Amino acid sequence: MVIILVGGQWGDEGKGKVIDYLAAKADMVIRSQGGNNAGHTVITEDGEFKFQLMPSGILYPDCTCVIGNGVVVDPIVLLKEIAQLRERGIEPKNLVVSERAHMVMRYHPLFDQLEEESRGDDRLGTTWRGIGPAYADKVRRIGFRIGDLQKEAFMRKKLAFVVDQVKNPILTKLYGGEPYDWESMLAEYATYAKQLDQYIKDTFPIVQDALDRNANILLEGAQATMLDLDFGTYPYVTSSNPTAGGALTGSGIPPTKVDLTIGVFKAYTSRVGYGPFPSELTNEIGDQIRERGHELICTGYRFRGTLYDHPLANISHYKHCEPVYEEIEGWQKEIGSARCWDDLPQRCRDYVVRISELIKAPIELIGTGPRRDQFVTRGRKLFN
Ligand code: IMP
Ligand code: MG
C-alpha cells in the first residue's frame, strides 16, 4: 500500500506525529521534496527527536528510509543528523539517499540570505537554508547531484565552472562579497563523499522493488499545500511542490500505485514567514486562540462581491479578500487522554464532522496532544 502524506496548511500542522504513527507500520518511508527547511519533531519514550532531512521512519529499525530525488540535501546537515542519531545509539543503516537528489551547496544559504536582504520590505521570509537557490540551480542545470560526489573528475570540472563563472562574479560584483575558492570546496566535498558514500544509491530500483513486493510505503511530505510553488501564495512559497504530485515526481512512484493521500490539518491555521493570510487574527481572539485553541472556521473568502471556497490565485486579491466564518461552540474540555471517538466531547465531535463535510473528506485520525500516543483513531486501517 502506498500512502502520501501532505501538510494541508502552511506547515507545522504536526505532520511529524502522524508520520511517526504511520511509519510504525511502514516498510519504507520516502522524503520527496524540500530539504532542511523542514523540521519534524517526534516525541518517543526515549525523548524528543528533531529531524530536518532524515525521514522519520529512521526510529524504526526495519524501515527503509529514502531521501528521494526531489529533495535538496545539504550534506553538512545530513552528516550532522547521522552523527546525532549515532550519539543516541541509533545506526541509520537503512538510510538511502537518491543519487539524483540535488545538493544544497556551501554558497546556497549565503545567496538565500543576500537575495532576501536585497528584497528589503518585500522579503519572502525564507529559512535561509539555501533551498530556493538550490532548486533554482537544479532548474538552471548548474546544480550538483549528490551522486556527483562519487565522480571526482566531474566535480572538479563542474565546480570550477559554476564557482568561477557563475557564483563568484555575482558574489563579488553584485554583492561586493568574497569569492569562493573552488579547489578548497572540492577538498571539502571529497570528505562528504567519503562519509556519505555508503548511503548514496540509485533509489529507483529500490523503490520499484518495494512496489513489486506490495510493501507499505509512506511518502512523507515536508512543508505544506499553501507553500506549494504552484498552488500556494506565490511568491511567498517554498521552491518545491509539497502537494501530492510533488511526492510522485520526487520519488519515482507512479500515480497508479498510490492508494491513499492524507492531509494533515491543525484545528486552527498558522504560518511562519511572510505573505497574505486573510484569516490571520491580530486581535485579542487571535491571542486567545494561540493560547487556548478556541474555534472559528474560515469556510471561504469574499472578494468584490463574489464568494470563493478556495484561496485566490491572485496574491493581491487574496491579501485583500474578506474571510467568511462559521462560528461553532468550543468544547472547553481537556481531550489529551481521549483515544476513541466516544471519548471526545460531543461539541468536539460536531466540530470534526462539520470540517469533514466542508473538506469533503473523511477524518480518520485526530491528534489530541503532542505525545506519540495522543491520537483518536476512527477504525480505518491505514496500513495493514
Ligand atoms: P524556504 O523554503 O526556506 O525558501 O522558505 C519559503 C517559505 O516557506 C517561508 O515562508 C518559510 O517560512 C516557509 N517554510 C519552509 N519550510 C517550512 C516548514 O517546514 N514549515 C513551515 N514553513 C516553512
Ligand atoms: Mg515543521
Active-site position among 40, 108, 137, 228:
40
> In this predicted model, what pLDDT tens digit does every residue of 345-377 receive, in sequence order?
999 999 999 999 999 999 999 999 888 889 999
Tell me the pairing of strands 95-98 and 64-67.
parallel
> In this predicted model, what pLDDT tens digit does every residue of 24-75 receive, in sequence order?
999 999 999 999 999 887 778 888 888 899 998 898 999 999 999 999 999 9
What angle separates helix 107-119 from helix 131-140, to the nearest 10 degrees? 110
Buried b (16+ CB within 10 A) or exposed e, 130-150: bbbbbbbbbeeeebbbbbbbe
For the record, the C-alpha cell of 52 comes out as 530536518
Distance from Cα 320 to the centre of ligand 1, integer Å: 22
CA nearest ligand 1 atom 2, residue: 238
Known catalytic residue: 112?
A: no
Instruction: Check pLDDT > 60 for residue 338.
Output: yes
Taking the alpha carbons at both ends of the chain, their separation in whole angstroms is 8
Cβ-Cβ contacts under 8 Å for 137 (sequence gap 6 or more):
102, 105, 108, 143, 144, 162
Q: Mean pLDDT over residues 224-248, rounded?
A: 97
Distance from Cα 114 to the centre of ligand 1, integer Å: 17
- Strand extents, DSSP E, the chain: 2-7, 28-31, 40-44, 47-51, 64-67, 72-73, 95-98, 102-103, 200-201, 217-220, 260-264, 297-303, 306-308, 322-326, 365-367, 375-377
Task: Name the CA dihedral angle for 282, 285, 286, 291, rounded to a multiple of 10 degrees.
Answer: 140
Model pLDDT, residue 289:
66
Side-chain-side CA neighbours of 1 within 13 Å: the count stands at 13
28 phi and psi angles, rounded to 5 deg = -150, 130
> What is the Cα–Cα distance from 19 to 43, expressed in whole angstroms?
12
DSSP 31-89: E-S--TT--EEEEETTEEEEESSS-GGGGSTT-EEEE-TTSEE-HHHHHHHHHHHHHTT
| Angular region, 77: left φ>0, alpha ψ -120 to 50, beta rest | alpha
Residue with the larger pLDDT of the pair 151 and 328: 151
> What is the Cα–Cα distance from 267 to 249, expressed in whole angstroms?
30
Model pLDDT, residue 221:
95
Categorize the per-residue pLDDT at 22 as very low, low, confident or very high, splitting at 50, 70 and 90: very high
Instruction: Check pLDDT > 70 for residue 133.
Output: yes
* Omega of the bond leading into 235 within 30 degrees of 0 (cis): yes
Q: Which ligand is nearest to the CA of 13?
A: 2
∠ CA 309-312-317, rounded to 5°: 125
Distance from Cα 325 to the centre of ligand 2, integer Å: 27
Distance from Cα 362 to the centre of ligand 1, integer Å: 28
Q: Taking Cα atoms as reference points, which of 70, 134, 61 lies closest to residue 95?
A: 61
DSSP 119-162: HGGG-----SSSHHHHHHHHHHT---BGGGGG-HHHHHHHHHHI
Instruction: Map residue 294 onto helix, strand or coil.
Output: coil
The number of angstroms, rounded, from the C-alpha of 44 to the middle of its chain's C-alpha atoms is 21
List beta partners, residue 200.
97
CA nearest ligand 1 atom 22, residue: 11
Q: Taking Cα atoms as reference points, which of 72, 28, 27 lies closest to residue 53?
A: 72
Distance from Cα 174 to the centre of ligand 1, integer Å: 26
Ligand 1 atom nearest to CA at 37: 16
> In this predicted model, what pLDDT tens digit does every residue of 264-293 receive, in sequence order?
998 878 777 888 888 888 887 777 665 665
For the record, the C-alpha cell of 327 comes out as 462560528
- Please, which residues have CB less than 5 A from ligand 2, an ion? 12, 39
User: What are the pocket residues of ligand 1 if the criterion is a CB atom closer than 6 Å to any ligand atom?
Assistant: 10-12, 37-39, 124-127, 129, 131-132, 222-223, 227, 236, 238-239, 272-273
Q: Mean pLDDT over residues 73-89, rounded?
A: 95
Known catalytic residue: 310?
A: no
Q: Which ligand is nearest to the CA of 33?
A: 1
Model pLDDT, residue 292:
61
268 phi and psi angles, rounded to 5 deg = -130, 165
Cβ-Cβ contacts under 8 Å for 194 (sequence gap 6 or more):
none
